[in-house]
């Protein structure tokens, strides 16, 4: 197997070298800053997307800003997460979202229409544009050559209000692909190979830019699978060039007029190169409980499987369902296994019904679910106690399926379909001959479940159900923080650990007091009560704190409970931004070994008067020791913190 090659930048040469694809798009949208790696930049956002689990809060925040109309070229509100309607909460939120969309000039994708990232790739994503989405898998849009970045809902609300999006200029990694994929190896195995090499934090502060002759063998949906799950490496985003493959896809979607060619210069200089020969790849699998825990399917085959789920924003395209259906044609799933299929869009469903391939799935015993996220976020179809569940999804975090004792494995549609037949994890190459599938020259286009903006709708009345509560107030940051260490955690704490999803909790996304009762529910169910009782305090953590979903509730709910600062070895990008947005101070150990010098229950005092210098002093009153803390905050981020968060900061800016 070819290994990574690391390239150091010669800054003198940099001025005369060509540009990467990422640099070209960012430079075109640059409002502040330079392309120098690690520098603070601000970019113009062309498009935004929200989904209903994050969208209700994002639009409450947008309302609070006080703008009459969205300022982007295009904004879309999708309903795909909270579609399980066990009471009034979710449908009430959907009506709120629809009324907001009508009033402020936002496209509204109705419940059941499909999964936001699959739909956006089909109908809205455009080469060369910037897209900011309140979902961490927004980089799916990179499959058509768009700089698509996941962010917290407040950042998306600000972008809809015309604010620039601030980030640090990322390093750019050239993932150079050669060859073509063997039979029964697919795009999912490509991104699993990337994860096998660099893990869940190997691409933090980086963009994965795919180049090389091998990209010509990958369709746009396959590229979208790779860019979607690139999020699990910690990458800011992932992107493919916009080439003739992109043009062919957009023309098939009747959007050929939106195509522009965007390629990296031949002499573009990358910060790092990873070479992958597609022809050498084999079927891969992520083991519990991390997408980065990757092995070959051969290494784990034979393990009995209780549940198989095909779908999610990673693998619910027409290509993925076609290959799954044709593998299952004439077969019956194993009697000990359950198979579910979640199509990504109505367009996908239209095609497999018309082609007859839907019948293959039904006759094999698959349970056909709604065109939504469903089991991926624990929204129904939780597996049985101690189950082994095989999923084509992007995350297998502890408890995410809805069953804490379940063991979730991530695989390709090919591996999932073959394993469903045998009832055990099976290398799909043992199936025999790979069925041939034919993709349509033209896709079936029917946008009747997307409500476009209408002129003169500003007087639309906003519909608010009783579960939608006002935003908490955010007070300016004091010069000194005092309190107790409420919780100490290890490395790779995810936002699922901090603020779980699932059918019980997701409907509370627009009710901060109620959802706050579940903060750290998987880690320490006593955390909410202890935090309120002690008037808030601090969290201490390890490396990569806050990886995973973009859910800002993992910041705003702890803020409601009184969280003052988070002190860790390192942060995941989106969660760091969310902490700042809600006035929680994100600090890192100057010396990582100092992590061992603080225990849960210690009383701390942090002097913030030196925050602008880049370092602050932490006084552990319990142990009578002083620890030096760092941060990576820009001047603007410090100003946001001092204002009490991004919302009061924006209001203050507009009032001056």
Rg of the chain over all Cα atoms, to the nearest angstrom = 24
Nearest to 210 by CA among 187, 241, 245, 231: 241
On whether both 419 and 560 belong to a single domain, the answer is no
Residue 449 lies in a domain: no
Which residue among 230, 261, 280 closes a domain?
A: 280
- Same domain? For 271 and 349 the reply is no
The answer to whether residue 173 scores a pLDDT higher than 70 is yes
Q: Is 549 a catalytic residue?
A: yes
Give catalytic status of residue 94 as yes or no: no
Boundary (domain end) residue, out of 262, 280, 298: 280
- Band (pLDDT 50/70/90 cuts) for residue 472 is confident
Q: Kindly state whether residues 211 and 129 are assigned to the same domain.
A: yes
Residue 474, in any domain of the structure: no
Residue 68: burial class (beta carbons within 10 Å; 0-12, 13-18, 19+): exposed
Mean pLDDT on 298-304: 98
**Model confidence pLDDT, tens digit, residues 374-415:** 999 988 999 999 999 999 999 999 999 999 999 999 999 999
The whole-number pLDDT of residue 456 equals 84
Active-site annotation holder among 120, 204, 346, 395 = 395
pLDDT value for 240: 98
Q: Is residue 439 part of a domain?
A: no
pLDDT value of residue 342? 97
CA distance linking residue 215 with residue 209, whole number of Å: 11
Instruction: Give yes or no: residues 254 and 289 share one domain.
Output: no
Is 551 marked active-site?
A: yes
> Which pLDDT band, with edges at 50, 70 and 90, does 9 fall under?
very low
Q: What is the pLDDT of residue 550?
A: 87
427 inside domain: yes
User: Do residues 223 and 317 both lie within one domain?
Assistant: no
pLDDT class for 284, splitting at 50, 70, 90?
Answer: very high
What is the CATH classification number for the domain harbouring 43? 3.30.499.10
pTM of this prediction? Answer: 0.93
| Averaged confidence pLDDT in the chain | 94
**Which of 607-624 are b and which e, b meaning 16 or more Cβ less than 10 Å from the residue's Cβ?**
ebeebeeeebebbbeeee
5-19, 33-47, 142-156, 244-258 — which is least confidently predicted?
Answer: 5-19
- Same-domain status, 417 and 485: no
Which residue in the list 319, 551, 553, 573 is annotated as catalytic? 551
Name the domain count of the chain.
Answer: 3
Report pLDDT for 616. Answer: 96
Residues 354 and 275 in one domain: no
- Residue 413 has a CB neighbour count (10 Å cut-off) of 28
Band (12; pLDDT cuts 50, 70, 90): very low
Asked if residue 300 and residue 256 are part of one domain, the reply reads no
Residue 461 counted as domain residue: no
Mean pLDDT calculated for residue range 165-182: 97
pLDDT at 1 (0 to 100): 39
Render 504-567 in DSSP notation, one character per residue. TTGGGTT-HHHHGGGTTTTT-TTHHHHHHHTT-EEEE--TTBTBS---THHHHHHHHTTEEEEE
The Cα-based distances of 36 to 171, 172, 202 in angstroms read: 9, 11, 20
Whether 524 is covered by a domain: the verdict is: yes
The answer to whether residue 614 is domain-embedded is yes
Tell me the percentage of the chain whose pLDDT exceeds 70: 97
Strand partners, 332: none
**Structure confidence at residue 131 (pLDDT):** 98
**pLDDT at position 6:** 37
Burial class of residue 470 (count of CB atoms within 10 Å of its CB; 0-12, 13-18, 19+) = exposed
Task: Provide the pLDDT for residue 655.
Answer: 64
Report which of 40, 184, 100 is spatially closest to residue 633, judged by C-alpha positions.
Answer: 40
Of 46, 52, 93, 135, catalytic: 135
Same domain, 273 and 293: no
Q: Say whether pLDDT at 16 is over 80.
A: no
Same domain, 542 and 555: yes
Alpha-carbon torsion, ordered 272, 231, 189, 348, to 10 deg:
-130
Q: Is residue 652 scored above 90 in pLDDT? A: no
Q: What is the pLDDT of residue 503?
A: 86
Annotation marks residue 575 as catalytic: no
Domain boundary pick from 248, 280, 312? 280
**Calpha distance 117→123 (Å, rounded):** 10
| 166 assigned to active site | no
Examine the pLDDT at 15 and tell me if it is beyond 60: no
Q: Say whether both 312 and 251 belong to one domain.
A: no
Any idea what the CATH number is for the domain that residue 642 is in? 3.20.19.10
With beta carbons less than 8 A apart as the criterion, state whether 41 and 33 touch.
yes
Residue 594 has pLDDT above 60, yes or no: yes
* pLDDT level of residue 145 (50, 70, 90 thresholds): very high
Domain containing 270: what range? 5-280
* Residue 137 known to be catalytic: no
- Residue 339 shares a structural domain with residue 274: no
Dihedral sign for Cα 516, 519, 521, 525, please.
Answer: negative
Of the residues 29, 81, 126, 197, only one is catalytic, namely 81
Of all residues in the chain, what percent carry a pLDDT higher than 90?
A: 91
441 within domain boundaries: no
For the segment 629-639, the average pLDDT, to the nearest whole number, is 94
Calculate mean pLDDT across residues 646-650: 91
Active-site entry in 46, 80, 189, 496 = 80
Catalytic residue among 549, 550, 570, 634: 549
Task: Read off the pLDDT band of 497 (50, 70, 90).
Answer: very high
pLDDT at 474: 83
Decide if pLDDT at 7 tops 80: no
Of the listed ranges 48-52, 345-349, 550-554, 583-587, the least confidently predicted one is: 550-554
Q: Is the pLDDT of residue 572 over 50?
A: yes
Whether the predicted pLDDT of 524 surpasses 90: yes
Q: What is the average per-residue pLDDT within 321-328? A: 98
């Amino acid at each position: 197997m070819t290994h990574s090659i690391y390239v150091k930048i010669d800054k003198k040469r940099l001025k005369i070298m060509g540009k990467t694809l990422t640099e070209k798009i960012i430079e075109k949208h640059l409002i502040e800053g330079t392309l120098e790696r690690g520098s603070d930049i601000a970019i113009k956002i062309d498009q935004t997307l929200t989904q209903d689990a994050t969208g209700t809060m994002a639009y409450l925040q947008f309302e609070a800003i006080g703008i009459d109309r969205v300022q982007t070229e295009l904004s879309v509100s999708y309903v795909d997460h909270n579609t399980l309607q066990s009471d009034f909460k979710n449908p009430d939120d959907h009506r709120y979202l629809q009324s907001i969309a009508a009033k402020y000039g936002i496209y509204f994708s109705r419940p059941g229409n499909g999964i936001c990232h699959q739909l956006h790739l089909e109908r809205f994503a455009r080469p060369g544009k910037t897209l900011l989405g309140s979902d961490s898998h927004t980089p799916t849009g990179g499959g058509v050559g768009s700089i698509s970045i996941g962010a917290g809902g407040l950042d998306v609300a600000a972008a809809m209000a015309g604010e620039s999006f601030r980030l640090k200029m990322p390093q750019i990694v050239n993932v150079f692909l050669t060859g073509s994929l063997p039979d029964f190896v697919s795009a999912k195995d490509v991104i699993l190979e990337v994860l096998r090499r660099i893990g869940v934090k190997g691409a933090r502060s980086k963009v994965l830019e795919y180049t090389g002759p091998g990209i010509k063998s990958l369709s746009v949906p396959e590229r979208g699978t790779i860019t979607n799950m690139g999020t699990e490496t910690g990458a800011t985003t992932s992107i493919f060039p916009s080439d003739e493959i992109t043009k062919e896809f957009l023309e098939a979607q009747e959007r050929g007029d939106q195509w522009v060619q965007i390629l990296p210069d031949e002499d573009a200089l990358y910060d790092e190169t990873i070479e992958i020969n597609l022809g050498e790849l084999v079927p891969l699998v992520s083991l519990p409980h991390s997408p980065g825990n990757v092995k070959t399917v051969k290494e784990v085959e034979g393990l009995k499987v209780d549940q198989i789920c095909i779908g999610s924003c990673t693998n619910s395209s027409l290509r993925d369902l076609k290959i799954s259906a044709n593998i299952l044609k004439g077969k019956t799933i194993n009697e000990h296994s359950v198979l579910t299929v979640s199509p990504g869009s109505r367009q996908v469903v239209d095609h497999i019904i018309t082609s007859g391939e839907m019948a293959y799935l039904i006759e094999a015993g698959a349970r056909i679910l709604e065109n939504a996220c469903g089991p991926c976020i624990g929204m129904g179809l939780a597996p049985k106690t101690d189950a082994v569940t095989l999923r084509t999804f992007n995350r297998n975090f502890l408890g995410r399926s809805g069953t804490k004792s379940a063991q979730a494995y991530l695989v390709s549609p090919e591996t999932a379909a073959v394993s469903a037949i045998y009832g055990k994890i099976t290398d799909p190459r043992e199936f025999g001959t790979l069925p041939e599938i034919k993709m349509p020259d033209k896709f079936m286009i029917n946008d009747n479940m997307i409500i476009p903006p209408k002129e003169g709708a500003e007087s639309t009345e906003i519909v608010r159900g009783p579960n939608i509560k006002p935003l908490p107030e955010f007070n300016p940051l004091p010069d000194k923080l005092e309190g107790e260490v409420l919780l100490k955690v290890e490395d790779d704490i995810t936002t699922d650990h901090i603020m779980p999803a699932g059918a019980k909790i997701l409907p509370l996304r627009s009710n901060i007091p109620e959802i706050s009762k579940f903060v750290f529910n998987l880690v320490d169910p006593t955390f909410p009560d202890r935090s309120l009782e002690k008037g808030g305090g601090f969290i201490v953590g390890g490396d990569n704190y806050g990886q995973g979903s973009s859910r800002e509730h993992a910041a705003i709910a702890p803020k409601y409970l009184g969280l003052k600062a988070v002190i860790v070895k390192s942060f995941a990008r989106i969660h760091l931004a969310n902490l700042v947005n809600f006035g929680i101070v994100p600090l890192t150990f100057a010396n990582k070994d100092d992590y061992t010098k603080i225990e849960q229950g210690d009383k701390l005092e942090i002097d913030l008067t030196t925050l602008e210098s880049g370092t602050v002093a932490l006084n552990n009153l319990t142990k009578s020791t002083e620890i030096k803390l760092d941060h990576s905050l820009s001047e603007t981020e410090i100003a946001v913190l001092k204002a009490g968060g991004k919302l009061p900061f924006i209001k203050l800016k507009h009032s001056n």
